């Protein structure tokens, strides 16, 4: 049976979010129950996510704009008009599926309660939405199957946390102490699966709406993101590779939050055979090539 998932994303900034969201929507192994957006201009991110669901042939999937600021900052709207790198894909609401009125945390809690023990939240952005969910709806921890996070480097020593955990270490600590199964995967787990220029050209030549959208997103990313890499990476593909099974090894570990004097909270990840969390490893170069080809087959497949 397909795995029910919620994709929690800062889509529209780096390129991997939109690429892997399209992959998940076109993968029969996943039942995407909802998409929630996080960090900064979550309304703009919501429009991009809805453009992807529409183009992928799944316009009825709920998309909800989540928290723009990390915990415990106040929940306020992000300043209007603040650009995200791929914002031109959906500059306004024209032609998009309607936005949903639920809050992101309420939607996550509601869907988790409807299928206890089955739903996975995959976090490929800041942890704020899931952190707020577990604070405001603490019973959600018992309802979720797992939280699967793209979060740093845990395959070797020393370990270090990545941007998705640094953006909101308090929210990450809430997840770490909630009792939910937390799977932390290396940001570079899928480094050998990144798209080469020949894959980008395949998207351009496909003459399919979803491929056209992804090719346009890559162009905007290259144009608007000053530190864009030479070729599109798929860092966030790690969460879906893990859920597909058999791609990424895991070992036990634990997360520890510290609050140094006069500094923001920091989160450390420790390898510990008795720890409550799962720390992921990396793909080999050969397996990375296999995953890249699987990605291309899925996003180039005809729309359902």
Per-residue model confidence (pLDDT) at position 156: 64
**Residue 279 sits in which domain range?**
3-300
Helix (H), strand (E) at residue 59: none
187 in Cβ contact with 155 (< 8 Å): no
Per-residue model confidence (pLDDT) at position 210: 97
Q: For residue 131, how many C-alpha atoms fall within 13 Å in the half-sphere facing its CB?
A: 25
Per-residue model confidence (pLDDT) at position 271: 83
Phi and psi at 232, nearest 5°, equal: -65, 130
Per-residue model confidence (pLDDT) at position 277: 93
Per-residue model confidence (pLDDT) at position 113: 98
Helix (H), strand (E) at residue 207: none
pTM value is 0.94
Per-residue model confidence (pLDDT) at position 157: 63
Per-residue model confidence (pLDDT) at position 163: 86
Does a cis peptide bond (omega within 30 degrees of 0) precede residue 158?
yes
Per-residue model confidence (pLDDT) at position 34: 98
Residues 139, 178: Cα–Cα separation, whole Å? 9
77 in Cβ contact with 115 (< 8 Å): no
Per-residue model confidence (pLDDT) at position 74: 74
Residues 89, 12: Cα–Cα separation, whole Å? 9
Residue of 248, 211, 33 lying closest to 122 (CA atoms):
33
CATH number, domain with residue 160: 3.90.245.10
- Low-confidence residues of the chain, pLDDT below 50? none
Per-residue model confidence (pLDDT) at position 263: 65
Reduced to 3 states (helix: H, G, I; strand: E, B; else coil), residue 37 is strand
CA distances from 167 to 164, 193, 220, 222, 244 (A): 6, 25, 24, 23, 27
Structural domain total, the chain: 1
């Amino acid at each position: 049976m397909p795995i029910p998932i919620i994709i929690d994303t800062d889509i529209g900034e780096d390129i991997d979010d939109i690429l892997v969201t399209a992959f998940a929507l076109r993968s029969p192994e996943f039942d995407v129950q909802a998409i929630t957006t996080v960090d900064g201009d979550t309304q703009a991110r919501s429009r991009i996510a809805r453009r992807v669901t529409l183009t992928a042939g799944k316009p009825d999937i709920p998309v909800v704009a989540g928290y723009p600021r990390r915990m415990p900052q106040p929940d306020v709207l992000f300043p209007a008009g603040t650009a995200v790198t791929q914002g031109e894909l959906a500059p306004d609401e024209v032609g998009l599926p309607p936005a949903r009125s639920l809050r992101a945390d309420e939607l996550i809690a509601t869907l988790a309660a409807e299928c206890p023990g089955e739903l996975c939240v995959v976090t490929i952005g800041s942890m704020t939405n899931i952190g707020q969910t577990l604070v405001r709806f603490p019973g959600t921890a018992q309802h979720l199957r797992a939280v699967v996070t793209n979060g740093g480097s845990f395959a070797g020593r020393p370990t270090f946390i990545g941007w998705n955990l640094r953006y909101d270490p308090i929210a990450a600590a809430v997840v770490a102490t909630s009792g939910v199964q937390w799977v932390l995967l290396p940001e570079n787990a899928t480094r050998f699966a990144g798209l080469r220029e020949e894959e980008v050209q395949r998207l351009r030549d496909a003459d399919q709406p979803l491929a056209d959208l992804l090719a346009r997103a890559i162009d905007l990313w290259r144009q608007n993101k000053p530190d864009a890499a030479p070729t599109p990476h798929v860092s966030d593909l790690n969460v879906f590779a893990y859920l597909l099974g058999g791609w990424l090894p895991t070992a036990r570990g634990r997360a520890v939050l510290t609050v140094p004097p006069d500094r923001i909270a920091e989160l450390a990840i420790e390898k510990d055979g008795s720890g409550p969390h799962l720390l992921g490893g990396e793909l080999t170069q050969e397996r990375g090539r296999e995953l890249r080809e699987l990605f291309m087959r899925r996003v180039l497949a005809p729309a359902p």
